[in-house]
Structure 1
Amino acid sequence: MQDKKFSVVIAGGGSTFTPGIVMMLLAHQDRFPLRQIKFYDNDPDRQKIVADACEIIIRERAPQIKFLATTDPETAFTDIDFVLAHIRVGKYEMRSKDEKIPLKYGVLGQETCGPGGIAYGMRSIGGVVEIVHYMEKYSPNAWMLNYSNPAAIVAEATRRLCPNSRILNICDMPIDIEGKMAQIAGRESLHDIEWKYFGLNHFGWWTSIKDKKTGEDLMPKIRDYVWKHGYNLKYIKGDAGVQHVDPSWQVTFEMVKGFAPLDPNTLPNTYLKYYLCQDDVVAHSDIKHTRTDEVIEGREKEVFTECRRIAAAGTAKETSFVVDAHAVYIVDLATAIAYNTKANMLLIVPNEGAIENFDPTAMVEIPCLVGSDGPEPLVVGKIPQFQKGMMEQQVSVEKLTVDAWIEHSYLKLWQALTLSKTVPSAKVAKLILDDLIEANKDFWPELK
């Protein structure tokens, strides 16, 4: 097994994150050797921009790895060991509508939380399930590592629609925060700490952070900092690092200080700001310039400009692309499966009693030991009433959204929006829903 070289397909080859993932894969050939990298996307023009550059990068840095970009499912998914999936159904045009339609009604607009997350979920379900079916048809022994958003809704949908599939749903946000926690505690990296965590995707809490070598409890030091500054590192190092550096993210990291004291025994995920500070989020939102506009003007422009420069130059020797450090968890997960390492990783899995006092069918985000047979969830035990109440409400939103997609039910989706903690009333939920239906008529099933 140690001598095996693997074949992967990146589903979402035209993503702005793809070059960083390719750089990351190439940087870890010593522990996850590859014989083939494929790109798959249903937008050939967008994928070609990224693929032309990545082909040059791979040829110059790892010529032994075969590269192929295609829009044909059979070509893409035949002879692969892992699917790395990060698709965005509807691309940024629809993300912009996810953000701006709710804001018309004084409700936060965000790509994975609230009405925007529900709308995105309704688009993503079909796309992710389609990829699962391609994998199972053409490479039935492969594993799909899915980090397509909104991961919580996608995970609930695949649990019900693809119950026997080899799909693992993952997210990099906790890893990013753990890296910040390590620096706050005076450690060099997240690999110097060990942690305990529970929740739903983009909706969770750390219950323990310790020094991996000494066992020292680091929670008090981190808590003191977070209550003053959130997870914003500028107060200890003068800059924001390399990931999530846009102004909106810095506001997000700092805003944590406003709700972290709700439970002195835990530390929250940043995304909880959308459920606990929704009034502030709306007040500081600009319906004419949302996060989508920031991404288009920033990361997308920078990535595509660099891709075109590499293609025109015919070389990537001076590229500005760097290893996507937070995507290393993808290699960690793949190697855990390939080599049965039993690595401790945070995954989105069926609860099945891991959280003792919570819905056993809920897709929860908890630590798991990962090996060749997939994840083994670790026991969390009972969780506090505050978090339990919030999670029960949110998991019901996710389940009703999947119900709506499966049953083509207008009523279920109206219920999901009404139940969301981000929406003030059934009346407002209906207004938003009717606008979202019109905007998503080319992507959603017809609701009745």
Structure 2
Amino acid sequence: MKKKSSVVIAGGGSTYTPEIILMLLDNLDKLPLRKIKLYDNDEERQNKLAKACEIIVKEKDPSIEFLATTDPELAYTDVDFCLAHIRVGQLPMREMDEKISLKHGVVGQETCGPGGIAYGMRSIGGVLENIEYMEKYSPNCWMLNYSNPAAIVAEACRRLKPNSRVINICDMPIGMENTMAEILGVASRKELDVRYFGLNHFGWWTSVKDKEGNELLPKLLEHQLKYGNCMTDGGGNFTDDSWQETARKVKDIVAVDPTLVPNSYLKYYLFPDYVVEHSDPNYTRANQVMDTREKRVFGECARIEKAGTAVGTCLEIGIHASFIVDLATALAFNTHERMLLIVQNNGAIENFDPEAMVEIPCIVGKDGYEPLSIGKIPTFQKGLMEEQVAVEKLTVDAWQEGSYHKLWQALTLSKTVPSATVAKAILDDMIEANKGYWPELK
């Protein structure tokens, strides 16, 4: 009989929490659970979800203990896994990140460019705080951290918590692989053997094979050059029009280098002028999420709480949640599953910074992960990655040192920002907006 695990979801007030719980409950055969806890420092927001989540858990398996708390000791005591997806400043600060950037004619996006840098400066302290709680109350716990911006957070963890049981992950490649499987006529992304290298939200697939070992990359590239990461009829596995537009833009990213399949987020770095031109500076992605996803999830949770049952709920399992279950299962039961993780390079990419936090395939077992060797990467991708790694390292430098100049340099070096003059104007506005969230910069 498999050992049952105890899980805490840090960032319990996130609208993604119900779908993570649904995924955990759908996989109790793989990862049996004895406790599910929610932890958030915003009690009011977490309470909008907590009762509905408790009802969902009790209807699925009454033996699982459920707790929602703002007390870190209660949250982190007797825990095997922390699933961390915190958002310091919540969506109102994301809105500020996006709109300040667009005000200066620069990409306004959650994890890319100035928005990602601003978000990273807020996130580092919150993630480190949760790691310290975990190590104090459950030192053998694993933190599966998918708090954004994952690249900057991962660099901070490497530098400031080098011996912690933290694995940094991202679901973005998983979402793309689901669509790639659909394009290729394969039943599931798990039927594909992939090779991938890059940074978080900044990478490329070098091989996509089926289980018989047939290389499908040329077929996929041929399709993407015509249709992007959409089906021939324009459809695909997308939650809304903005994601579909991002998938369509893949055809232009592929055209720059038609030998590798790119992560769709590269549009923000290779075509920032296009992105700005097609953005509304008065109504950004944060506004869209607040007006759609937040209202839908909080509304449905209120309905479940009032009804006292989750029967007939419209809440669904999220694609990113399946990745988390697979990773926790690999750690708990030594499955040696191959997964994309954000890890220190240490020579895995032969001709790249050994200290850089790269996103590459790893084999995962009870002792953690073992990165796979990538070899040498092409000059074009290497050059892009070196610039972006420098941005991420300078951002963590700025957080550690309280350095205005290091953050100005990070913004100046970002491929999304046209000049040091624009970078300084954005930085000065960002400092004003982030009072109370960032360290004081001098």
- When normalised by structure 1's length, the TM-score is 0.98
2:378 counterpart of 1:380: no
Q: Tell me if 1:220 matches 2:218.
A: yes
Q: Distance in 2 between matches of 1:62 and 1:121?
A: 37
Deviations 1:177-205 (A, max 9, x none): 11111111111110111100000000000
Shift of 1:256: 0.9
Deviation at 1:392, TM superposition (A): 0.2
Contact 2:10 2:84 in 1 (8 A): yes
Distance in 2 of aligned mates of 1:4 and 1:208: 36
Partner of 2:247: 253
Partner Cα separation in structure 1 for residue 247 and residue 67 of structure 2? 39
1:304 CA drift (Å):
0.4
Answer yes or no: is 1:426 the counterpart of 2:425.
no
How far residue 216 of structure 1 moved from its aligned partner, in angstroms, is 1.2
Instruction: Give the letter for the 2:236 counterpart.
Output: A
Q: What's the counterpart of residue 180 of structure 2?
A: 181
Output the CA distance in 2 between the equivalents of 1:156 and 1:325. Answer: 25
Divergent runs of 4+, >4 A: none
Shift of 1:294: 0.9
**Corresponding letter in the other structure for 1:223:** L
1:229 shift after superposition: 1.1
1:240 corresponds in structure 2 to: 236
Q: Distance in 1 between matches of 2:320 and 2:419?
A: 38
Please report the RMSD computed on the Cα atoms of aligned residues, expressed in angstroms: 0.9
Q: Letter of the aligned partner of 1:225 in structure 2?
A: H
Q: Structure 1: give runs of 5+ residues left out of the alignment.
A: none
Aligned length: 442
How many angstroms does 1:239 deviate by? 3.8
SS in 2 for 1:259: helix
| Partners of 1:109 and 1:322 in 2: CA distance | 29
Find out whether 1:286 has 2:280 as its counterpart.
yes
The answer to whether the 8 Å contact 2:174/2:319 transfers is no
* Matches of 2:319 and 2:427, distance apart in 1: 38
Q: Specify the SS of the correspondent of 1:101.
A: helix
1:112 aligns with 2:111: yes
Counterpart code for 1:412? K
Unaligned 5+ runs, structure 2: none
**Residue of structure 2 equivalent to 1:355:** 349
Provide the residue aligned with 1:136 in structure 2: 135
CA distance in 2, matches of 1:43, 1:232: 38
Structure-1 residue corresponding to 2:196 = 197
Give CA deviations for 1:197-222 in whole Å, capped at 9, x if unaligned.
Answer: 0000000000000111x211111111
SS in 2 for 1:163: coil
Q: Which residue matches 1:298?
A: 292
Offset of 1:23 from its aligned partner?
0.3
Letter in 1 for 2:411: L
Structure-1 residue corresponding to 2:120: 121
Cα distance in 2, alignment partners of residues 382 and 220 from structure 1: 21
**Distance in 2 of aligned mates of 1:247 and 1:123:** 29
Letter in 1 for 2:356: A
Q: Which residue is equivalent to 2:430? A: 436
Give the match for residue 227 of structure 2.
229
1:30-429 mapped onto 2 (5 Å cutoff):
30-212=29-211, 214-233=212-231, 235-236=232-233, 239-241=235-237, 244-429=238-423
Partner Cα distance (1:84, 1:343) in 2: 19
Identity within the alignment, %: 66
Q: Distance in 1 between matches of 2:366 and 2:287?
A: 41
Q: State the alpha-carbon separation in 1 of the partners of residues 406 and 190 from structure 2.
A: 43
Secondary structure at the aligned position of 2:194 is classed as strand
